[in-house]
Structure 1
Amino acid sequence: MIELLPIIMFAVVCLALMLGYPVAFTLAGVALLFAGGGIIGGVFEPALLLTFPNRLFGIMSNYTLVAVPLFVFMGVMLEKSRLAEELLSNMAKACGRLPGGLGLAVILVGALLAASTGIVGATVVTMGLMSLPTMLRHGYNPSLATGTICATGTLGQIIPPSIALVLLGDVISSAYQQAQLHLGVLNLQTVSVGDLFVGAVVPGLMLVAMYMGYVLLVAWRRPAQAPRARLETHEQTVSRTQLLLSLVPVLVLITLVLGSIITGVATPTEAAGVGAAGALVLAGLKKQLDWARLSEVMTTTTRISAMIFTILIGASLFSLVFRGFGGEELVHHLFDQLPGGTLGAVLVVMLVIFLLGFILDFIEITFVVVPIVGPVLLAMGVDPVWLGIMIAINLQTSFLTPPFGFALFYLRGVAPESVPTAAIYRGVAPFIVLQLLLLLALALWPQLVIS
């Protein structure tokens, strides 16, 4: 019974989260309850809890995690500056005459927003408010329209610079070091967030191409579901100058942030600072910067950052207690017993993460599940960058899978009442399949990530 305590502890956390209790306090509360019971029962070493302050200090002094509030600030500022609204309007005019043109415009703009904001909720809400009424007005099938918007909004999970990759990169790096210690390696190596950013570029572009291919396929096979846009006379054309003026600011910001990381000129944290400053400049140039808007952006940034770091602290305590009960050794033993060796272990982890995505948020899975299974898989010889990208894409599906897919909630909140919730659920199904196909492609050709 004692050896099953880690599994029971994990199950209790999942149950409490499904009941709607706050994530951070659930993780910490369950950990302390089990630790207290273990101390009383003599099966948990109380000295382990004394190491938690050092862990907490390590979280707060982690230079990589400084990028989180900076990227959040950049994304929120760009959302409030109405840059996306102008870009989507011009892109819709440029692509609207093509079959499925409005859908293609949504995907292209969503990809650019993902590369410049990295915030799923902001992208889904922005695209839902601006593009969904237009797509419905021009005769788009509600399922196709809502599915395209939801799926495009989740691109912020995989297209760098991504907050999810920043958080995942820190967790994977820690897991990689633990795996090396387990193997007796003295000269420890690390995995940087920049490595994940570089590894995510090709898969991110592949996913954009797959989304566009699906919309074009629907427009070809069922043209009534994705008709050519019937633009009004004053909307029919957009000059190259107008299109460039809306595109260039976003592309310049992406180049400065992502280019400086890939070329090694700047660390992700330094590049995040450049991105935050660039977002301020763009907002000022568009005359969208005032004290009220700046205060709103800073308040939102503080709220999101505080939520992320509070969850990280709770997850760190949970991980500490989980290991104190021998959870890591239990996972090692379970994986060793699986048929198929390393391949079988990876398949099981991917399946578990996918299923947990139906009930848990990506932050919860990143901070709770990955620290448990990551060291074990990496000790079995799995490439850390490849594993990080595979997990990131898998986590991306958690935004689309009902009943707790957050992208579905975001769009439901801004979609017209005439669009039934069932239509949104039907619409995301093909895009979930596309994401799973991308996972399969990366499993068959890992060089797409690590070449």
Structure 2
Amino acid sequence: MSELLPLFLFAGAIIVLLLGYSVAFSLAGTGLLFAAIGAWTGHFDVVFLEAIPNRLFGIMNNEVLIAVPLFVFMGVMLEKSRIAEELLDAMALMFGPMRAGLGISVTLVGMLLAASTGIVGATVVTMGLLSLPTMLRRGYDPKVATGIICASGTLGQIIPPSIVLVLLGDVISSAYQQAQIDQGMFSPETVTVGDLFLGALIPGLILVLAYILYLLFKAVVDPKSVPAIPQAERDAVDDLTARVLKALVPPILLIGLVLGSILGGFATPTEAASVGAVGAIALSMMRGNFSYTVLKQVMKSTTEVSSMVFIILVGASIFSLVFRGYGGDDLVRDFLTDLPGGVFGAMAIVMLVIFLLGFFLDFIEITFVVVPIVAPILLTMGLDPVWLGIMIAINLQTSFLTPPFGFALFYLRGVAPESVSTMQIYRGVIPFILIQLVVLSLLAYWPALATWLPEVVYG
């Protein structure tokens, strides 16, 4: 019976979450409640709880995690600078003569916004407000329109600089060190956020290409669902080239500045994030959209998002500590190592569990609760940490799209017109979920898609 207590702890946390209680306090509260019950029944050693202050201090003292509020600030500031609006207008006119051209424009703008902001909620809401009415007015099938907006909005999960990759970089690095200790060895080598940024570039671009190919396929088999923009509308625009360049150059420069400084080894992710935040302010000033009111709104949003991330991290740390105190990590290790198929079977089960949990839990809870438990075990079995991190990141991306609790679906439902039903949104994302699973399978078959670029750059 005692060996099942970690499972009861995990199940209890999920039940409390599904009841609608706050994530951070659900995790911490469930962990402390089970710790108290275990101490009373003699199944839990309260000495484990003495590590809580050190864990909390480690979270607050972690320089890598400082990049989170800075990237959030950059993303929210760019949202206020109307970059998305200009990009959408310019791209739509450029690809307008093609069937599915507007959808392709939304995909490319989503990619650029992902590389500029890394915030899924802001991207989906912005794209929904700007592009969905236009797509519907021009005759797009609501399912195709809502699907491409949700899918392109979630590209911020995988295309760097991504907040998910920052968080995963910290978790995978700790798991890698734990795996080395478990194997009786330790070296100064570790996994950095820059490694994950590089590893995510090729899979992220493949995902974008797959979305575009799907839209082109729709243009062939069902052209009425993705009509072209009338030529007369394009002809009414003066100097299209200058308009496109004006919309494209600023965000590309900012992306190059942030990512180039990280990948070139000139700055840490935290330092590059601060450069990005300052660059976002500069772009807002250039467009005449910067003011005290805007700065106040951006700082408020940044504080809210950052506080949510860190308080969840605190709750997840307490929960995982109690889980380890009950021997949960040993239970999971024994289960995974005894599976048929060895490391392949263990990895397949972990990916399936993360995918299913994405139906109900947010990526932050999965990152902070599930990944620290399974990652050290998988790394001990010989998996590459960068490949593992990118596999988990793409899998987590699906959590934003999977009904019934995909957050991208909620974001779009909040701004979509009443003429678009919730069921149309749900049905619209299904092809893109399948595309993500295909890309995940490709990455599983060819790990070099994630590991080749970091090896070339960093040797």
Gaps of 5+ in 2: 453-459
Letter in 1 for 2:341: G
**Separation (CA, whole Å) in 1 of partners of 2:194 and 2:32:** 35
Closer, same or farther: CA 72–63 of 1 in aligned 2, 3 Å: same
| Per-residue deviation, 1:259 | 1.1
| Per-residue deviation, 1:232 | 5.3
Letter in 1 for 2:365: E
Pairwise mapping of residues 108-127 of structure 1 onto structure 2 (< 5 A)?
108-127=108-127
**How large is the Cα RMSD of the aligned pairs?**
1.0
1:190 alignment partner in structure 2: 190
**Separation (CA, whole Å) in 1 of partners of 2:313 and 2:120:** 19
Query: Is the contact made by 1:138 and 1:230 (CA closer than 8 Å) also made in structure 2?
Result: no
Pairwise mapping of residues 70-149 of structure 1 onto structure 2 (< 5 A)?
70-149=70-149
| Per-residue deviation, 1:236 | 4.5
Letter in 1 for 2:275: V
**Separation (CA, whole Å) in 2 of partners of 1:399 and 1:166:** 18
**Separation (CA, whole Å) in 2 of partners of 1:348 and 1:186:** 28
Query: Is the contact made by 1:129 and 1:414 (CA closer than 8 Å) also made in structure 2?
Result: yes
**Separation (CA, whole Å) in 1 of partners of 2:254 and 2:46:** 50
**Separation (CA, whole Å) in 2 of partners of 1:219 and 1:180:** 51
Deviations for 1:66-107, whole angstroms, at most 9, x for unmatched residues? 000000000000001111111111111111111111001000
> What TM-score, normalized to structure 2?
0.97
Query: Is the contact made by 2:258 and 2:275 (CA closer than 8 Å) also made in structure 1?
Result: yes
2:52 alignment partner in structure 1: 52
| Per-residue deviation, 1:226 | 0.4
Letter in 1 for 2:299: M
1:277 alignment partner in structure 2: 278
Letter in 2 for 1:437: V
1:159 aligns with 2:165: no
Q: What fraction of aligned residue pairs are identical, expressed as a percent?
A: 64
Pairwise mapping of residues 222-371 of structure 1 onto structure 2 (< 5 A)?
222-230=222-230, 233=233, 236-237=236-237, 238-371=239-372
2:457 alignment partner in structure 1: none
1:43 alignment partner in structure 2: 43
Query: Is the contact made by 1:93 and 1:236 (CA closer than 8 Å) also made in structure 2?
Result: no
**Separation (CA, whole Å) in 1 of partners of 2:301 and 2:308:** 11
Letter in 2 for 1:374: A
Deviations for 1:300-352, whole angstroms, at most 9, x for unmatched residues? 00000000000000000001000000011101110121000000000000000
**Separation (CA, whole Å) in 2 of partners of 1:96 and 1:131:** 13
Report the secondary structure of 2:399's partner residue. helix
| Per-residue deviation, 1:234 | 6.8
**Separation (CA, whole Å) in 1 of partners of 2:233 and 2:420:** 28
Query: Is the contact made by 1:180 and 1:188 (CA closer than 8 Å) also made in structure 2?
Result: no
1:64 alignment partner in structure 2: 64
Letter in 1 for 2:444: A
Closer, same or farther: CA 129–232 of 1 in aligned 2, 3 Å: farther
Deviations for 1:149-205, whole angstroms, at most 9, x for unmatched residues? 000000000000000100111011111111111000132531101100000000000
> What TM-score, normalized to structure 1?
0.99
**Separation (CA, whole Å) in 1 of partners of 2:382 and 2:432:** 31
Pairwise mapping of residues 402-417 of structure 1 onto structure 2 (< 5 A)?
402-417=403-418
Letter in 2 for 1:402: P
Moved more, 252-261 or 234-243: 234-243
Report the secondary structure of 1:369's partner residue. helix
Letter in 2 for 1:210: A
Closer, same or farther: CA 130–232 of 1 in aligned 2, 3 Å: farther
**Separation (CA, whole Å) in 2 of partners of 1:186 and 1:130:** 51
How many pairs were matched up? 451
**Separation (CA, whole Å) in 1 of partners of 2:212 and 2:76:** 26
Closer, same or farther: CA 36–16 of 1 in aligned 2, 3 Å: same
**Separation (CA, whole Å) in 1 of partners of 2:368 and 2:318:** 11
Closer, same or farther: CA 234–191 of 1 in aligned 2, 3 Å: closer
